[in-house]
Homo-oligomer: A and B are copies of this chain.
């Protein structure tokens, strides 16, 4: 897990992991995980709704987190996403700078092209 993810708050990290790998969980896992982690229901509420024990809900959520983190450790999709997002922001910033101070457009073109090529290498 890279630096950006480390300083992210826990909720955002979990939401991103779920966003990228949620489809690899079973329907039941997705259902419970979404309600506990993303919709912030309490373990007891979900336990009652699903007719399982509070401990069962807790274990299921922990297991899902382990699965999602396991995929990230292998595929690094969240890491790559954050890095690409950063580079796109850099393109935006480079264009904004040009708009503000009208710098040499050739310089801008070179810079944007370099960032764009970096994005491809990143993927």
Which residues from chain A sit less than 8 Å from chain B, CB to CB? Answer: 20-21, 23-24, 71, 74-75, 77, 81, 84-85, 88, 91-92, 95, 98-99, 105-106, 109, 112-113, 116-117, 119-120, 123
Contact = CB atoms under 8 A, between A and B. Distances in A.
A24 B74 contact: yes
16 contacts: A20-B75, A23-B74, A23-B75, A24-B71, A24-B75, A77-B77, A84-B119, A88-B120, A92-B116, A95-B109, A95-B113, A98-B109, A99-B106, A99-B109, A105-B105, A119-B119
B112 A105 contact: no
Nearest to A81: B123
A86 B123 CA distance: 13
